[in-house]
Amino acid sequence: NLYITWGVFVISTSLSYLYSAQSVILTADQNVYLVKLITGLTRSLAYILQIFLMICGVSFWIVCAIELLSNVIQLILFNKLTLKKYPQLVKLDITDTINKENIISVKSKIKREIKYTFVHKIAGVVVFNTDYLIISVFLGITVITSFSSYMMLIQALAFLISAIASPLGAYIGAKLYSDSKEKVIRIISLYNSLFFMLGIFCAYMFYISSSTFVSLWMGKEIVLSQQLVLLLSVNCFVLIARISFDVAKVGLGYMSDIELPLLEAIINIIVSLVLVHYLGLNGIVIGTIVSNIIVVMILKPVFLYKNA
């Protein structure tokens, strides 16, 4: 039974890849709101229906089948919407407009960018999970409860802002091919300034309100010191401010700076391992701050403006 349940979720996840091309086309054409509408609406309805069925005591297999049905409906909706908005795709023959050499060149570029993106994702997992691992080894599992409560607030805030900012990537990409490079640079600089100020505002609000929220939510024994909250506020600022750089990179199709996330992970691990012996949890957070300042706030903008 366990394997059947696992198989249903694997199939459900696999189905999402069948409409990934359609969602990419819509996003690139600055219609990301349609992607969010389809995925958000179908998933919300599926979750509501699953909760209702579980309350009614319906078989768990039916609940799992709802998840599968949700992805099937998304596949159908994406296919119909894409063919309606881009009917030329039905009879598209790339050999009519693109010669064989160009096809090979495009495939080669796509494979290269996929490799770069894979490295970025792996390094990102290391960067954002190193702190938890070091805390569990040197400070114990109980400290993770307090730390993760605050980090959950930061990550939820960053996720919300990233979801709002994601359409900007397609806009920047479109501007790159329709306007001059100087104008694109001005647009990116404007976004960087806006997210910089937004990061300052979010960090300040996190500093003055996070402990109160955690106290009401988890209890006073979970609350961290104000000194540590201040350090986490710096991380909150960087996490918000970096969104503009990440969005710009996606819009420009620039993923070649694979050494930067690797360097960020290495600096984070080394500094955290050294400082944890002297400063405890503060040292681990400082390690993350140091890696963020060196890589995210200094090197990444330099690479982006120079090479992208």
Alpha carbon 294 to chain centroid, angstroms:
21
Percent above pLDDT 70 for the chain: 92
3-state class (DSSP) for residue 140:
coil
The number of residues making up the chain comes to 308
DSSP class per residue in 201-249: HHHHHHHHHHHHHHHHHH-GGGPPPHHHHHHHHHHHHHHHHHHHHHHHH
Residue of 113 and 201 predicted with greater confidence: 201
What confidence tens digit (pLDDT) does each residue in 152-183 have? 999 889 888 887 777 777 777 677 667 777 77
pLDDT in tens, 27-37: 777 787 788 88
The secondary structure of 25-45 as a DSSP string is HHHHTT-HHHHHHHHHHHHHH
Is the pLDDT score of 188 beyond 90? no
Region 176-204 average pLDDT = 84
Q: What's the CA gap between 143 and 276, in Å, rounded?
A: 13
Rounded to the nearest 10°, the torsion over CA 281, 131, 259, 114 is -160
* Predicted confidence band of residue 92 (pLDDT cuts 50, 70, 90): low
DSSP 250-306: HHHT----THHHHHHHHHHHHHHHHHHHHHTHHHHHHHHHHHIIIIIIIIHHHHHHH
Give domain limits for the chain.
Answer: 2-92, 114-307
Nearest to 27 by CA among 35, 39, 19: 35
pLDDT bucket at 117, cuts 50 / 70 / 90 = confident
Cα(194)–Cα(250) distance, rounded to whole angstroms? 18
What is the mean predicted confidence (pLDDT) over 183-205?
88
pLDDT in tens, 250-279: 777 777 778 888 898 899 999 999 999 999
